Amino acid sequence: MIQIFAVGRELRMTHKTSPLAFMLAAFFAVGCSAGTVVKSDSRAQIATADTGVAGQASGSGNTDVQSAPVNTLSNTSVLQRFFTVPRPAVIVADDLNDLEETLLFARRTTHADPDRQNGGKWIEAAQIGLLFGSPEGKAFLTAPAGRALVRGEPAQSCPALNVATARTDDLATEGALRACLRKVADMPDCGCRVIARSDHLLADRDDFQYAIGVSSLLIDPKNGQQLRMTSEERIIEGRPDTRRLWMLNAAGPVGMLQVQNDGRAAFVFSATGKRYDGTHFEDGFRRGRIARRAYLNSKDGKRLVVLVGFEENELKENQETLSAWNPFSPLELKKAEAAKN
């Protein structure tokens, strides 16, 4: 079973006698509507809970290339500038056979004289959402030496974002590319693009969007009832294979979805402590955040579908498909179908 820490008392709903709390106390009876405005102290509540569990996490080991995302930025890391051009080169590796050529192209691009690049300019780190908001971007900003950021390509359907820091930019770029290529190896038509290296941005400014809060839906697949809210994503320091997505409404945290790289997932409601376990799938990037689907069961047999980060037009056009109960990965689905025949 996926390891997940119980939601602490500080994350429980402020007004337990509210209609929403009563409905969450029962099996996912969510007929009321939820606002998406988040209280200003919600992030402080989340930070408190995350700090409590972060101390229990172990380090990732001492290697030449480090790749652990981080939650926080130092004061000095935010005072950086990055060079960008209007039409950056697209530096993509489709597999490990492209690695050497991709590294050479990335090196030449970032070593070019900025004064000789038409339309190029330096921009502040605070203007670059992905670097300032995502855990991988923060790790990139806080790197003391060589650094690189690599993303799945095309981003819409290839959910991989890998950061690496090392003694040199070349080592970091190779490390990030290898990690990304491992992740997308089984994804059809996916490669890996170097989007940032050293103090250069190697993709369009639009590729560095990052939505701190995105729309999320909790769905009861039995009767179609939905609870809409906002979610924010965090990591547990020292456990780069684990992400926490806090579900927030106007009163604060409603629950937390924890996902792991191996496909396991768990959800815990803040008000009741009720837990659901199951699987999750990633569907590519939307405004810098990975769109996710989770299919979960409670011990008493109740089902829960969680959708995170999908755009409104996607939800309208594919609501039935996205919310349908489908707890199989493609490989597991093939095995299940083969067993029936």
Judgement on whether residues 287 and 308 belong to the same structural domain of the protein? yes
Judgement on whether residues 203 and 218 belong to the same structural domain of the protein? no
Does a structural domain hold residue 70?
Answer: no
Judgement on whether residues 276 and 336 belong to the same structural domain of the protein? yes
Judgement on whether residues 15 and 84 belong to the same structural domain of the protein? no
pLDDT at position 330: 53
CA–CA separation, 223 and 237 (whole Å): 38
Does a structural domain hold residue 272?
Answer: yes
Query: 303-308 and 161-166 as β-strands: parallel, antiparallel, unpaired?
Result: unpaired
The domain boundary residue, chosen from 181, 208, 235: 208
Judgement on whether residues 304 and 219 belong to the same structural domain of the protein? yes
Using N-to-C axis directions, what is the helix angle for 169-184 and 99-111, rounded to 10°? Answer: 140
Judgement on whether residues 127 and 150 belong to the same structural domain of the protein? yes
Position 54 pLDDT exceeds 80:
no
CA end-to-end distance (rounded Å), the chain: 30
pLDDT at position 329: 55
Judgement on whether residues 96 and 159 belong to the same structural domain of the protein? yes
Number of structural domains (the chain) is 2
When mean pLDDT is compared across 59-68, 119-128, 193-202, 266-275, the lowest value belongs to: 59-68
Does a structural domain hold residue 65?
Answer: no
Does a structural domain hold residue 214?
Answer: yes
Residues facing residue 163 across a β-bridge: 149
CA–CA separation, 6 and 27 (whole Å): 18
Residues facing residue 134 across a β-bridge: none
Does a structural domain hold residue 317?
Answer: yes
Judgement on whether residues 127 and 21 belong to the same structural domain of the protein? no
Does a structural domain hold residue 140?
Answer: yes
Domain with 235, as residue range(s), is: 9-54+210-340
Judgement on whether residues 222 and 250 belong to the same structural domain of the protein? yes
Residues for the chain: how many in total? 341
The domain boundary residue, chosen from 208, 231, 266: 208
CA–CA separation, 291 and 157 (whole Å): 10
Q: Kindly report the number of other CB atoms within 10 A of residue 43's CB atom.
A: 18
pLDDT at position 181: 96
**CATH code, domain with 317:** 2.40.128
Q: If you average pLDDT over each of 19-33, 34-48, 272-286, which comes out highest? A: 272-286
pLDDT at position 288: 92
pLDDT at position 75: 72
pLDDT at position 339: 61
The domain boundary residue, chosen from 190, 208, 226: 208
* Cβ-proximal residues to 48 (8 Å cutoff; 6+ apart), any chain: 8, 10
Does a structural domain hold residue 68?
Answer: no
Judgement on whether residues 104 and 199 belong to the same structural domain of the protein? yes
pLDDT at position 318: 82
Q: What is the pLDDT of residues 114-160, one digit of tens each?
A: 777 788 899 999 899 999 889 899 999 988 889 999 999 999 999 99
Judgement on whether residues 196 and 244 belong to the same structural domain of the protein? no
Q: Locate all alpha helices (DSSP H) within the chain, ordered by sequence.
A: 19-25, 42-54, 99-111, 129-133, 135-141, 169-184, 312-323, 330-340
- The pTM score is 0.74
One-letter identity of residue 212: I
Does a structural domain hold residue 21?
Answer: yes
Judgement on whether residues 258 and 227 belong to the same structural domain of the protein? yes
Cα–chain center distance at 267: 16
Q: What is the pLDDT of residues 290-336, one digit of tens each?
A: 999 999 999 999 999 999 999 888 888 887 788 788 766 554 544 55
CA–CA separation, 302 and 115 (whole Å): 62
Question: Is 308:218 a contact under the CB 8 Å cutoff?
Answer: no
Question: Is 11:251 a contact under the CB 8 Å cutoff?
Answer: no
